[in-house]
Structure 1
Amino acid sequence: MASTVTFSETGGPEVLTINHINIPAPAANEVRILVKAIGLNRAEAMWRSGAYIEEPILPAKLGYDASGIIESVGSNVKNFAVGDQVGTIPAFSQNEYGVYGELILMPAHAVIKSPPSLSFEQVAAIWNPFITSYGALIDGAHLYAGQSVLITAASSSVGLAAIQVANMVGAVPIALTRKSDKKQQLLDAGAAYVIATEEEDVVAVVKEITKGRGADVVFDPVGGPLFAQLLLALTRGGQMFLYGALSDEVTPLQLIDVLNQVPVIKGYTVWDITKDPERVEKARKFVFSGIASGALKPMIAKKFAFEQIVDAHRFLESNQQIGKIVVTV
């Protein structure tokens, strides 16, 4: 029996409970992992509250990012062995698997070996942020040196990863955050510029930064009213990647602005990358090369003990963090 976080009804952080569950031996294409650390994602809070793109089948597990040690392997698994240190990537449905537990099953395709130079906490803070950013900015937008990218929700773990990915290829990361209280921290994290969207004219500031041209790429998990400003801040023919729907307000789309800007608007999810083995391998090489060079660094905002999972989710929803929230097991 292993301690595992589940929920039997959707709602706030208080619906999460720790239960003792039997974790069976891995199936042919699975591995079983002794978990050492768990990285929290906003998607899991949406999943828990019933606001995710997929509806949870109750009682439900949850979680995408974890690190640990392989405890056993299925009969068809050839690339992993007992004792390997690994991390998980979001390449599965939370209705099938979840990582909030002491002992978990994972499909082998959702597991990546970890370099010994990284701690378990660091590995738990890597994959969802960096593979999501890589997928949109590098695999999707083909971002290159000199281009500018608007990064909304910039203080999130994915936003911070996007800043680093942009810097790694020589692009100009322009971080967007609601208020100016996080401005210096975002500059310290590598943002070339920071715009407080509730205090500044986004379009005017972007035009000033880009000398009237507008941004080349938008990377946005929010939507809502800000979308209209992001569209106008884009250069003509620029690309907009929408990878979330954090705003519960209407997302406006003025057709006259579309005709003037001729943007490429793309819905994007991390599964576009993680369900394609070749693209996962390219992402793995990109991320590990960036970590080895020091260009990419997982940023941990705060750590919680496993027994504090409810408090960890409350902190996740407070929007106070700058970086990844990690739960140690």
Structure 2
Amino acid sequence: MARTVRFHEHGGPEVLRLEDVEVGEPGPGELLIRVDAIGLNRAEVLFRGGHYIEQVRRFPARLGTEAAGVVEAVGAQVTGFRIGQPVSVVPAFSMNDYGVYAERAIVPAAAVVHRPEGLDAVAGAAVWMPYLTAYGALVEVGGMRAGDTVVLTAASSSVGLAALQIARRVGAVPLATTRTGAKKDALLEAGAAEVIVTDEENLVDRVLDLTGGRGAEFVFDAVAGPGVVDLAKVVAPDGTLFLYGALSGETTPYPGFELGMPAMNMRTYTVTRELTAHPERLRRAEAFVSSGLRTGAFRPVVDRTFPLDEIAEAHRYMQAGAQVGKIVVTVDH
């Protein structure tokens, strides 16, 4: 038995329950992981509330796609892993099938990466979702290069901070946006070339001024909604506006016709569908991120940790949106 977070109905953080659940043994292609730390993601808040891109198929339901721990058992047909090995679980499966909010969890071996030496469990649970998301969109799909400019919304999120570091690593220029000035200094310290405070400055004028009128080759947007019209105005010719989140909760228009049909690409991006589900892409991404960790170019930012017993409070904290970086839940054994 292992203490496992489940919910029996949609709702707020109060529906989360910590229950004793039989774990079982890993089947073919699976690993049993002793979970030491869990990385929280916005997707879990949406899944719990019934607002995610994938609906809950059955109750009680589980949560979690990102964790760090140690291999406890290896299923048939699994190679490359051994008992006692430190690993991280990456988002590469449906929460209808697996969930890592638990003391121990069975996961697909294809969703497990080797944890780089020197990376502790908390950092190991904080690094993969943010860096894989940003790398997959901007580098793997977008081909971001030295000299490119990228505008980052929700830049103080774990994905936004990872995108700042990745842009710096390839020689691109990251421009961070934030609604108020409260996080400006933190974003500059994190590596933003400039920070645009959208409650105080005109986003379009500021980006065009900073790029000499050219615009940004990439916009990496977690908000969506009506704001994409202004974001589209700052995309350079043949540039790309990536939508990887929908924090606004509002309908997202297609601004191409309203803006006179500019030469602009606008597309959604989901890491589980476009990167972690493809072994070769995941292999390249793992090598890229591991290299950045070894050299010190990548430093996952952890805002706060919570014990597993306080999982509901951790979800409340995430929904408040005040964090800078990753929220991690630790598991005592």
TM-score, with structure 2 as normaliser: 0.97
Going from structure 1 to structure 2, the CA distance change for 1:161 and 1:315 (only over 3 Å counts) comes to same
Match in the other structure for 1:18: 18
Three-state SS of the structure 2 residue aligned to 1:32 is: strand
Find the counterpart in structure 2 of residue 92 from structure 1. 93
* Matching of residue 275 in structure 1 with residue 292 in structure 2: no
Match of 2:167 in 1: 166
2:183 aligned residue: 182
* CA–CA separation in structure 2 for the residues paired with 1:116 and 1:294: 13
Q: 2:84 is aligned with what amino acid?
A: G
CA-CA distance at 1:260 after TM superposition = 4.1
1:143 corresponding residue in structure 2: 144
Q: Residue deviations 1:231-282, cap 9 Å, x none?
A: 0011122111111112122223334345442211111100200011011000
1:302 maps to what in 2? 304
Query: Which among 300, 314, 317 is matched to residue 316 of structure 2?
Result: 314
Runs (5+) with no aligned partner, structure 1: none
Aligned partner of 1:65: which letter? E
Q: How does 1:99-118 map to 2 (within 5 A)?
A: 99-118=100-119
Letter paired with 1:269: T
Q: Are the counterparts in 1 of residues 32 and 71 from structure 2 also a CA contact under 8 Å? A: yes
For 1:125-159, what per-residue CA distance to the aligned partner results, in whole angstroms no more than 9, with x for missing partners? 01100000000010011101111001111110001
Q: Which residue of 1 aligns with 2:257?
A: 256
Equivalents in 2 of 1:255, 1:228: separation in Å? 9
Alpha-carbon distance between aligned partners in 1 of 2:329 and 2:255, rounded to the nearest angstrom:
42
Q: Secondary structure at the match of 1:256?
A: coil
Q: Match for residue 68 of structure 1?
A: 69
CA distance in 1, matches of 2:297, 2:166: 8
**Partners in 2 of 1:111 and 1:121 — Cα distance?**
16
CA distance in 2, matches of 1:213, 1:240: 15
Structure 2 counterpart SS, 1:274? coil
Residue identity in the other structure for 1:9: E
1:179-217 Cα offsets, whole Å, 9 max, x none, are 111001000011111112222110000011101111110
Aligned to 1:287: 289
Question: How far 1:5 moved relative to its partner?
Answer: 0.3
1:104-253 to structure 2, matched below 5 A, reads 104-253=105-254
Q: Distance in 1 between matches of 2:2 and 2:250?
A: 40
Q: Which amino acid aligns with 1:321?
A: Q
User: Quick one: which amino acid aligns to residue 306 of structure 2?
Assistant: F
Distance 1:77 1:250 in 2: 43
SS of the residue 1:158 aligns to: helix
Whether contact under 8 Å (1:70, 1:85) holds in the other structure is yes
Q: In the aligned structure 2, how far is the partner of 1:304 from the partner of 1:260?
A: 48
Contact 2:256–2:262, Cα closer than 8 Å, also in 1: no
Query: Is the Cα–Cα contact under 8 Å of residues 232 and 255 in structure 2 kept in the other structure?
Result: no
Rounded Cα–Cα distance in structure 2 between residues aligned with 1:318 and 1:156: 12
Counterpart amino acid of residue 282 in structure 2: V
* Deviation by residue 1:274-301 (Cα, 9 ceiling, x = unmatched): 0110110000000011111111111100
- After TM superposition, list the pairs within 5 Å mapping 1:22-37 onto structure 2: 22-37=22-37
Letter matched to residue 177 of structure 2: L
Task: Structure 2: give runs of 5+ residues left out of the alignment.
Answer: none
2:70 and 2:224 map into 1 onto residues whose CA distance is 38
Q: CA RMSD in A?
A: 1.0
State whether residues 232 and 257 of structure 1, in contact with CA within 8 Å, keep that contact through their aligned partners in structure 2: no
Residues of 2 paired with 1:6 and 1:179: CA distance?
35
CA contact (8 A) 2:304 2:328 kept: yes
After alignment, is 252-261 or 57-66 more displaced? 252-261
Amino acid at match of 1:218: V
